[in-house]
A = this chain, B = another copy of it.
């Protein structure tokens, strides 16, 4: 069974879930190369659509995602990566999960979680481990 990278221009959506809590942390996209790098390194590597290059999650923040299990769906066009998250959160806005807003019945998005870190402390600080920003 081969992942169907062709369906969406070479990228498949990859859901990241905390293996321990079941919380969905974020969704990114993987190219074939980023998938290979994820397997090789044991840490999640996406393909950044905005920067058009490989993006090791946590390379600037230190909040890496250690891979515990990789799942594929029945059509082989979506991935579910179960991880052990390193650090207090994956979201650049300071939350554990990027999905920190829920829809109210009146159509407004409300914040459903508390900040777990201050983004300005992480993203303005010198990059950890010398990995660059």
List residues of A whose CB falls within 8 A of some B CB: 1, 7-8, 13, 15, 17, 21-24, 26-27, 39, 49, 69-75, 78, 80, 91-93, 95, 98-103, 109, 112
A21, B17: Cα distance in complex, Å: 13
A26, B80: Cα distance in complex, Å: 9
A99, B78: Cα distance in complex, Å: 9
A80, B99: Cα distance in complex, Å: 7
On whether the beta carbons of A93 and B74 are closer than 8 Å, the reply is yes
- Within 8 Å CB of A7, what residues of B? 49
Determine the main DSSP class of A at the interface with B.
loop
In angstroms, how far is the closest chain B Cβ from the Cβ of A18? 9
| Extra 10 A-B pairs, beta carbons < 8 Å, given A21-B22, A74-B100 | A7-B49, A22-B23, A69-B103, A70-B103, A72-B99, A72-B101, A74-B92, A74-B95, A75-B98, A78-B98
On whether the beta carbons of A13 and B1 are closer than 8 Å, the reply is no
Closest to A69 in B: B102
On whether the beta carbons of B21 and A71 are closer than 8 Å, the reply is no
- Within 8 Å CB of A17, what residues of B? 24
A80, B23: Cα distance in complex, Å: 11
Closest to A35 in B: B103
B23, B70, B74: the one contacting A102 at CB < 8 Å is B70
